[in-house]
Chains A and B, each alone.
Chain A
Amino acid sequence: MNVDSIKNGFVLDHIKAGCGMQIYRDLHLDEIDCPVAIIKNVPSKKMGKKDIIKIDADIELDLDILGYIDPGITVNVIRNDQKVEKKHLSLPEQLTGILKCKNPRCISSTEQELPQIFKLADKEKRVYRCLYCESAFKE
């Protein structure tokens, strides 16, 4: 299967097989007017199978969302047909506007204009806590 190489944009590599569509949606790639390719179940030495997303546009990528979804993803930055940077992601220390606190006693439940901010409390267990009430985020 051939997918055209991209001139200026990003290649999201090492996506867990089957997660490509979720990332497509979470990054709102359906809302941008540019070529985007989702390649599923690509054979991988390291992962067995993986998904890859190619974005042929110099958009502003939210690396926090990507890092939160899967810190194992690598982001290759392409400029003028060349890979100029390879970014390894990690769980972000802070997430703003991505998760929503579900604690009805939290001040953010009544004051809607407050930004929803979560801090990484436990990297190993992937626990994020609300900045205001410290409730752990549950899926």
Chain B
Amino acid sequence: MRSLIDIQELSVKEIDEMMDVADDIIANPKKYENACRGKKIATLFFEPSTRTRLSFEAAMYELGGNVLGFSEAQSSSASKGESVADTAKVVSCYADIIAMRHPKEGAPLVASMNATVPVINAGDGGHNHPTQTLADLLTIRREKGRVNNLTIGFCGDLKFGRTVHSLISALSRYTGIKVVLISPNELKLPGYIKSDVMDKNGMAYTETTDLMEVLPELDILYMTRVQGERFFSEEEYLRLRDSYILTPEKMACAKSDLAVLHPLPRVNEIAVGVDADPRACYFKQVLNGKYMRMALILKLLEVTV
């Protein structure tokens, strides 16, 4: 039995195979509509995340399975002081697979160490968010036809943005990736990711504070939200939130085949006017997230179609 806590637990081959399955689901959805009949996923969301939770639930419904769970800690036994370990043991009795979102880093790992069913990390604090990474990778492959040999810009909050950390970690195992880190000095990528992930894997990267300076060379632009809940000071948040806003005017100097990704929700870092641009791929990315979660559920439940 396998869980998915960190994207590094999946080999490149496994990720590629899951992307193949996702492509097949997109092409032949009927084929998969009863793949998980009789199976249940428990979505244990200890902090609100409508998007990720709905994605898991939609994924399971489209595989013919059922869904149970909660969407905030107040409606779970955690509010009575139950440990994550106990919650995992109890829910294992009801569900075939668990997707867990938790504000504390490492909580899904603790759950996986105690559950008797597979556990999927649906985001743990500022730490990991592997299924978002799977959505990102599928979007890159579907938009560019490959995951190798690309110049990928990451813009915004690179310090607390866990989706950025997970995606860089996953991309470090592909070849020919050039990363451009675009952020205010206060929100730069943590040093340990540069040393432990990028340097260790010989990944080329540059850092800048100026989006416009590098935009013309990018194949992919991965925008992120400056997340208010990760800040201790409201004043700091308001000062940095507007640092990097993508507008239709800025898009004019980008490559014609650029793909703009964003893990969503956005605040104002991508102007609504960009949505109509065919290079805006963030809503396709949401859909791709559902397909990759379907592929992941099939893999962890060892269901073949």
With both beta carbons as reference points, the residue of chain B lying nearest to A103 in the complex is identified as: B105
* Most chain A CB atoms below 10 A, which of B103, B104, B106, B192: B106
Contact present for B127 and A134 (CB under 8 Å): yes
Nearest CB of chain A from residue B229's CB, rounded to whole Å:
11
Contact present for A133 and B196 (CB under 8 Å): no
Contact present for A113 and B104 (CB under 8 Å): no
Chain B, residues 101-122, CB within 8 Å of chain A (1/0): the string is 0111111011000000000000
Contact present for A111 and B110 (CB under 8 Å): yes
Q: With contacts A122-B196, A132-B105, A136-B192 known, is A107 near B110, CB below 8 A?
A: yes
Contact present for B196 and A107 (CB under 8 Å): no
Chain B interface extent, by class: 10 to 19
With both beta carbons as reference points, the residue of chain B lying nearest to A136 in the complex is identified as: B192
B125 within 8 A of A: yes
Chain A, residues 114-139, CB within 8 Å of chain B (1/0): the string is 10000001100000001111111000
A21 within 8 A of B: no
Q: With contacts A105-B126, A111-B83, A133-B127 known, is A121 near B106, CB below 8 A?
A: no
Contact present for B106 and A133 (CB under 8 Å): yes
Contact present for B125 and A105 (CB under 8 Å): yes
Contact present for A121 and B196 (CB under 8 Å): yes
Chain A interface extent, by class: 10 to 19
Main SS at interface, chain B:
mixed
With both beta carbons as reference points, the residue of chain A lying nearest to B109 in the complex is identified as: A132
B258 within 8 A of A: no
Contact present for B192 and A107 (CB under 8 Å): no
Chain A, residues 73-105, CB within 8 Å of chain B (1/0): the string is 000000000000000000000000000000101
Nearest CB of chain B from residue A13's CB, rounded to whole Å:
34
Nearest CB of chain A from residue B11's CB, rounded to whole Å:
20
Contact present for B83 and A105 (CB under 8 Å): no
Contact present for A133 and B83 (CB under 8 Å): no
Contact present for B84 and A107 (CB under 8 Å): yes
Contact present for B105 and A106 (CB under 8 Å): yes
Contact present for B107 and A107 (CB under 8 Å): yes
Nearest CB of chain A from residue B82's CB, rounded to whole Å:
10
**Measured between alpha carbons, how far is A109 from B104 in the docked complex, in Å?**
9
List of A residues within 8 angstroms of B107 by Cβ: 107, 132
**Measured between alpha carbons, how far is A129 from B126 in the docked complex, in Å?**
16
Contact present for A110 and B104 (CB under 8 Å): yes
Contact present for B126 and A107 (CB under 8 Å): no
Interface, chain B (partner A; CB < 8 A) = 83-85, 102-107, 109-110, 124-127, 192, 196
A-B contact pairs, 5 of them (CB 8 A): A105-B105, A107-B107, A131-B106, A133-B127, A134-B127
